[in-house]
Amino acid sequence: MSTDSLEARPKRRRADTVERLLDAALETFADLGFAAATVEDICRRGGFTRGAFYSSFRTKDELFAALFARETGRELALVEQQLAGLEHEADPVAAAVERCLSTFRADRSWVLARTEFALHAARHPEAARALREHEDALLARVTAIIDDTLGRTGLRLTLPAGQLAGILLGLHDGLALRDAVLPGDRSPEPDDDLERTALVHLLRAVTD
């Protein structure tokens, strides 16, 4: 076995540990809330010791930053994948909405975990600053996706791409939270797809 292979093993193990910690944290924050959840709760769910946690993260806030980066990174990678080739569609606006919504649904655990951290940030200025940095990075990436899509499709906006990105994120987050708190036995009617209707009308209103 090569030296490179031997050196890669600890890195793979550490990466696997981090992923499992993030998975455990996601479910723990969703179930217990960010403030109530302890490091011990996260370790117990993931089958780790406190030492394993602190070898990767200093605090719960730092762990949440990694979780935010992972979850939003996955979401945006999926959006980029769905928007590939959009310039070949007869109706890029309708196609963009349909493509994304047909495969992109907010994960309930992530919606709850993110909301719990937002409540924590509302009471702790340092967490609020960190959350603002996370949200600004997300907004910048969504803005870049919009700019790229516009460049490929030839569509033009009647407002800055950054403003549209903020509106899209606010709309999606609000409806995702609404859906997350619906009783388990309640589901929207087939013709009650509020997000699809809102997105189509919004994008048609701001593009030409």
Q: What is the DSSP string of 55-82?
A: TT-SSHHHHHHHHHHHHHHHHHHHHHHH
- Characterize 163-175 residue by residue with b for buried, 16 or more Cβ atoms within 10 angstroms of its Cβ, and e for exposed: ebbeebeeebbee
- CB-count exposure of residue 192 (10 Å: 0-12, 13-18, 19+): exposed
Structure-token pair, residue 112: 């709850």
Q: Which CATH architecture has domain 1-57?
A: Orthogonal Bundle (1.10)
Count CA atoms closer than 13 A to 176's CA, side-chain side: 19
Under a CB-based contact definition with an 8 Å cutoff, are residues 202 and 171 in contact? yes
Q: Which CATH architecture has domain 60-206?
A: Orthogonal Bundle (1.10)
Q: How many Cβ atoms sit within 10 Å of the Cβ of residue 97?
A: 21
pLDDT of residue 190: 41
Residue-by-residue pLDDT tens, the chain, 208 positions: 555 554 556 677 888 999 999 999 999 999 999 999 999 999 999 999 999 999 999 999 999 999 999 999 999 999 999 999 999 999 999 999 999 887 666 789 999 999 999 999 999 999 999 999 999 999 999 999 999 999 999 999 999 999 999 999 999 999 889 888 875 555 544 445 888 999 999 999 999 9
pLDDT of residue 189: 45
All structural domains of the chain with their residue ranges: 1-57, 60-206
Under a CB-based contact definition with an 8 Å cutoff, are residues 105 and 20 in contact? no
Residue 149 DSSP class: H
Structure-token pair, residue 163: 């403003």
Handedness of CA 160, 161, 165, 171 (dihedral sign): positive
Q: How far apart are CA 85 and CA 11, in angstroms?
A: 36
Strand partners, 207: 157
Q: How far apart are CA 62 and CA 16, in angstroms?
A: 17
pLDDT of residue 163: 98
